[in-house]
Amino acid sequence: MLLTQDDWYETSRDLDWTFSYVDRAAAFPTEWTGAEGIPEDAWEAWEEPFRVSYRDYVRVQREKESGVKAVSNALQRAGSYDQLPASHVAASQMHMGLITMVEYMAVTMQSRFCRFAPSPKWRNLGVFGLLDETRHTQLSLRFSHALLKHDTRFDWAQKAYHTNQWAVVAAKNLFDDIMLNADCVEACLASNLTLEHGFSNIQFVALASDAMAAGDVNWSNLLSSIQTDEARHAQQGFPTLEVVMAHDPGRAQRIVDVAFWRASRIFQTLTGPAMDYYTPLDKRKMSYKEFMLEWIVDQHERVLEDYGLKRPWYWDDFLYSLDNGQHAMQLGLWFYRPTLFWNTSAGVSRDERAWLNDKYPQWEENWGVLWDEVIRNINAGHIDRTLPETLPALCSVTQLPLGTAMSRDRLAPVSLVRDGRVHHFDSEISKWCFEQEPERYAGHRTVVDRFIGGEIQPMDLPGALAWMGLTPDVMGDDTDGYRWAREYATESKATESKA
Amino acid sequence: MTVYELDSDAPLDPVLVGPVLRSGPLADAVIEAVSDDNPDRDVYVVDRDDYVRVHTPHECRLTWRSLEEHLGGTFQLSALEIEMPSFKGRMRSRSQEYMWFHSE
Ligand SMILES: [Fe+2]
Ligand SMILES: [Fe+2]
């Protein structure tokens, strides 16, 4: 009788060694495994929810690859890139610059699982994970390389993480920390569980659906194909969570709560504006907030509950931030556009504004008034007044501008002093993250710290732009050349003449 | 047992579990297969054009046998992954059957 995979699977995946001349502790130091305080035999309970054999893996991945390649070759031949809306293209450039090298960091993280994970089954799965992430890096580079002839901004798929561009510094700070600077247990709970099972769906499935509607079949297909790997290897998070919950639930809760907030801030910067401002209005599926409720609240959090985790203590503030943070970031991205390597869409024409007010009833009150100021300056010919002259103060944890986590009514300073240095935070939540492990965050210097420290010369905006690696050919500007503001000029003239 | 097409921006009921698939013939076959494999449960389908959620309350089974039947050809469950960027709930996978569930 022919054996099915179920018959041999369990024997095939937990090859382990009995050490004869090395200490187990020397071969698997807890600094790397993260298994301190967890009895060795506890890991026997580690069972992957999503099984995969090498034979199936190769067959399935091969089919995924040929699918992505067929689509991208056909679209390149059809010249479909030229038809895409400029604001949408900007979202794909932002993605390639900020995410491609994170895929590569994930290769390193998965490799660490292969060597140091405290369960042989987990080490085995790490191999598939590292092959997956290699694929994601290569796909993203291939996609960007093919578009280089249209726009040098796609060069940032490779270049970004070798620069000091501030959004890259913020993203790098998070991903370095949860992928490269974390032991296996922490990396797994912060990256596999929180990021891959939760937040990456927002970019790779939800935003992919917006991209598809905007006509970018190539990018959309690449994103969702990548996420089919993520859905599988993200599952490494659950058996790890189960083991840690049984022995040190406080630690699991703390790791997840810190990672959840930090991830939500980065996605608010990346995916939030892409959904609520860059995607052409008639192509938008749902708002960033609605997608977050679908993917993070209804889907991700519900499973965590099943394992006994509680919602983060800052849940109400997280929900409040869902109504505001991406709008604050959007205003900041647009205003600081020369500091970006992508063009930025304002996304506040009359019609877009009506959509924003429908999705976010507080939008006009919190953000519309600030845009009105921008609009007045544009229409009066004062573009210079819509551009920055200085750098914003940054958060010691998220590296994002102060005042961008909540609404503009909640700008009370949050800070603490440690070893004579003042650390500022974008929220009480970020401060709480810092306090969990001050020694972890205290040494980080924000872009502004480096500016004040004299690392950026000359000490002005052009000096800062050069230091960030921003050259005139990539430096961001308004995707629409400010044309969107004109309708406000004619309308205000009309009201004046009536009066 | 009924298949309900949910209004596409209505909030999801947290008790629902099951796969999220890229739209296409495989997703269509999964909808049919899931309704056969879960005779005591209603099937909720949320179609967001590019992706489609195929969910049932609390527990959702998908067997290789019914999927093959609705696809009209041979198919291995491990290939479902090619079109499945996400799923809702916990998962248990065996070569003949995938299952999504919440334990509480
Ligand atoms: Fe990845
Ligand atoms: Fe991943």
**B-chain residues near A121 (CB < 8 A):** none
| Tens digit of each residue's pLDDT (9 = 90 or more) over A299-333 | 999 999 999 999 999 999 999 999 999 999 999 99
- What does the alpha-carbon distance between residue A344 and residue A363 come to, in Å, rounded to a whole number? 19
Contact B87 A238 (CB under 8 A): no
- What does the alpha-carbon distance between residue A465 and residue A165 come to, in Å, rounded to a whole number? 8
What is the pTM assigned to this prediction? 0.96
The residue of chain A nearest to residue B86, with distances taken between CA atoms, is: A231
Average pLDDT of span A451-468 = 92
- What does the alpha-carbon distance between residue A484 and residue A371 come to, in Å, rounded to a whole number? 12
CB A279 within 8 A of CB A330: no
Q: Is CATH 1.10.620.20 the right assignment for the domain spanning A36-41+63-75+83-479?
A: yes
Average pLDDT of span A457-466 = 91
Ligand with smallest separation from the Cα of A102: 1
Please name the member of B8, B11, B86 whose beta carbon is closest to the beta carbon of A298.
B11
Q: How far is A425 from chain B (nearest CA, A)?
A: 33
Average pLDDT of span A476-480 = 96
Residue A1 has pLDDT above 90, yes or no: no
| Tens digit of each residue's pLDDT (9 = 90 or more) over A247-262 | 999 999 999 999 999 9
pLDDT confidence bin for A499, thresholds 50/70/90:
very low
Q: How far is B2 from chain A (nearest CA, A)?
A: 22
The residue of chain A nearest to residue B78, with distances taken between CA atoms, is: A56
| Tens digit of each residue's pLDDT (9 = 90 or more) over A366-396 | 999 999 999 999 999 999 999 998 889 999 9
Residue A121 is predicted with a pLDDT of 96
The residue of chain B nearest to residue A287, with distances taken between CA atoms, is: B9
Ligand with smallest separation from the Cα of A226: 1
Average pLDDT of span B35-40 = 97
Q: How far is A68 from chain B (nearest CA, A)?
A: 11
Residue B36 has pLDDT above 60, yes or no: yes
Residue A350 is predicted with a pLDDT of 97
Q: What is the ipTM of this complex?
A: 0.96
Residue A497 has pLDDT above 60, yes or no: no
Please name the member of B8, B94, B102 whose beta carbon is closest to the beta carbon of A6.
B94
Domains of chain B: 3-101 (3.90.56.10)
Residue A390 is predicted with a pLDDT of 85
Residue B8 has pLDDT above 90, yes or no: no
The mean of the pLDDT values for chain A is 94
Average pLDDT of span A185-193 = 98
Task: Please report how many Cα atoms fall inside a 13 Å half-sphere around the Cα of residue A429, on the Cβ side.
Answer: 25
Comparing C-alpha atoms, which of B9, B4, B89 is closest to residue B48?
A: B9
- What does the alpha-carbon distance between residue A447 and residue A130 come to, in Å, rounded to a whole number? 32
- What does the alpha-carbon distance between residue A186 and residue A178 come to, in Å, rounded to a whole number? 7
Comparing C-alpha atoms, which of A237, A255, A259, A257 is closest to residue A307?
A: A237
DSSP class of residue A344 equals B
Strands B90-94 and B86-88: unpaired
* Percent of chain A whose pLDDT exceeds 90: 88
Query: Which amino acid type is present at position A220?
Result: S
**% helix / strand / coil in chain A, to the nearest 5?**
70, 5, 30
Rounded to a whole number of angstroms, the CA Rg of chain A reads 24
